[in-house]
A and B are shown apart, each in its own frame.
Chain A
């Protein structure tokens, strides 16, 4: 299993634990402004990141020279996804309770980073969706 896949999967597992812990806190009275964070830690941090890691590992090879596509792009996916998600987890509850310029800008940055992660992943993987 390549390093990038191990990194994706282990990071996804950390988000899984964080999301489930936040789920417990939500039932104990943590404000509902954290609910979108809970959902996105689960669906984007855990599931989607796990899928990205496994696809990078298992899909048909891109070419002999670049079996898994451009690794630099895959690392960009990893960092943009995770920085974007962490920024969201920090800024969204703050923006809900006291809207301000800084947290507003962080949320926009988070949106752009997560969108970029998806776009770069699709671009780098598209050619690997093939018969052989």
Chain B
């Protein structure tokens, strides 16, 4: 597994843990109300599990297993992928933090970062979606 996939996958595991913790608190509070603030965790629960866990894991595994190039950098432009990891995680954290603050621009900025991360990842991976022999 290449180094950048390790970053993606380990970060996705951290988001999985956070997302399950938020979800667990929300669900437990439905059973026995003990934390009136628990519902405020819902946006963070969604963001960490959908983007932070599932999408990020898929990106990490794609970077690992998509066909490699025969010449030049075998997995394409590493700097672009590095930027995608950083932007995606910053974006998810910004959107998730919105649950705990009143800073309204965090969600918009976070979503722009997430979208930029996905665009960079697609740009860097596009030509790797190819037959093996090319």
Task: Show the binding face of A for B, using Cβ within 8 Å.
Answer: 43, 47-48, 51, 59-60, 88, 91-92, 95, 103-108, 110-112, 114-115, 118-119, 121-122, 125-126, 129-131
Chain B 13-41 interface mask (CB, 8 Å, partner A; 1/0): 10011001101110110111000000000
**A129, B30: Cβ atoms closer than 8 Å:** no
Count of B interface residues, CB-CB < 8 Å: 22
Known contacts A111-B24, A131-B1, A131-B3, A105 near B54 by CB under 8 Å: no
Alpha-carbon separation in the docked complex, A95 to B23 (Å): 17
B1 is contacted by which of A107, A122, A130 (Cβ under 8 Å)? A130
| Chain B neighbourhood of A115, CB < 8 A | 20-21, 23-24
Known contacts A60-B1, A104-B32, A119 near B10 by CB under 8 Å: no
B54 nearest in chain A by CB position: A47
Known contacts A95-B30, A118-B17, A130-B6, A51 near B57 by CB under 8 Å: yes
**B28, A129: Cβ atoms closer than 8 Å:** no
Task: Show the binding face of B for A, using Cβ within 8 Å.
Answer: 1-3, 6, 9-10, 13, 16-17, 20-21, 23-25, 27-28, 30-32, 49, 54, 57
Known contacts A47-B54, A115-B20, A126 near B13 by CB under 8 Å: yes
B2 is contacted by which of A106, A112, A131 (Cβ under 8 Å)? A131
| Chain A neighbourhood of B23, CB < 8 A | 111, 114-115
Alpha-carbon separation in the docked complex, A80 to B24 (Å): 13
**A114, B20: Cβ atoms closer than 8 Å:** yes
Alpha-carbon separation in the docked complex, A91 to B125 (Å): 44
A107 is contacted by which of B2, B6, B27, B49 (Cβ under 8 Å)? B27
B5 nearest in chain A by CB position: A129
**What are 14 residue pairs bridging A and B, where the CB atoms are less than 8 Å apart in the complex?**
A47-B54, A48-B54, A95-B30, A107-B30, A108-B27, A108-B31, A111-B24, A112-B28, A114-B27, A115-B21, A115-B24, A119-B20, A125-B13, A131-B1
**A95, B1: Cβ atoms closer than 8 Å:** no
**A105, B32: Cβ atoms closer than 8 Å:** yes
Q: How far is the CB of A15 from chain B (nearest CB, A)?
A: 16
